[in-house]
Amino acid sequence: MPKKLQAAPTARPEVADSKSARTRARILDAAAHVLSVKGYAGTRLSDVAEYAEIQAPAIYYYFPSREDLIEEVMFSGIADMRKHLVKVLAALPPESSAMDRIMAAVEAHLRHELEISDYTTASIRNSGQLPERLRTRQLKEEAGYNALWSRLFDDAAADGQLRSDLDPRMAQALVLGSLNWTVEWWNPRRSSIELIVENAQSLVRNGLSPAVEPPRARRSTTRRASVRR
């Protein structure tokens, strides 16, 4: 599997160009990839070292344990995704409707988990597998990410762009759940990311938007001509 585009999210600017920082980033990138493919239970430091092209003992210079390395990846995945969504929404035209903003969020979520970041893929796929002690920072970031979506759904409801029979929080959870699950079944050899995005947007828009009643057909009336006697 080819590497996705990566970032070293935790490296400080003043040391970003140092050899040590580059090695640390390479370890994180490798761990994100292995974790996204093999899961929490199947991630071994030997696999991470092989993918990062370093010796396995060198990992302990940067991370005290396997759990510390995985925790950093999981936190970075959701933190990067939240920042990505903020950036995407900020770039939209001011006149964008609430539903258009939800559509942009759908695309941002799918592209980030499927195309852009192994960190996000790993974070989504392994969210329920980590022990609670490793999830403190991740859960805080997840709350921030969910809050962004909550505002989008609240705005749609306030503007009359959300069906009145839908509970905004429940609808939001169902949408995010389906978007997250895409990483489990999508095969890039069978369909493009563009097709996935288009289908997801169509499904979400049509599922959330109030039904538009078709215009009533005008009843044709045949006037009876008066017959003169």
Query: Counting beta carbons within 10 angstroms of the beta carbon of residue 66, is it exposed (0 to 12), middle (13 to 18) or buried (19 or more)?
Result: middle
**For residues 5 and 184, which has the higher predicted lDDT (pLDDT)?**
184
- The per-residue pLDDT for 17 is 59
The answer to whether residue 123 scores a pLDDT higher than 50 is: yes
Say which DSSP state 131 is in. Answer: -
CATH 1.10.357.10 fits 67-208, yes or no: yes
- The per-residue pLDDT for 147 is 98
| Banded model confidence at residue 127, pLDDT cuts 50, 70, 90 | confident
> 11-21: per-residue pLDDT in tens?
444 444 588 89
* Distance between CA atoms of residues 81 and 149, nearest Å: 12
Query: What string of DSSP letters covers 146-181?
Result: HHHHHHHHHHHHHTT-S-TTS-HHHHHHHHHHHHHH
CA-closest candidate to residue 129, choices 64, 42, 51: 42
* Distance between CA atoms of residues 225 and 181, nearest Å: 67
> 67-79: per-residue pLDDT in tens?
999 999 999 999 9
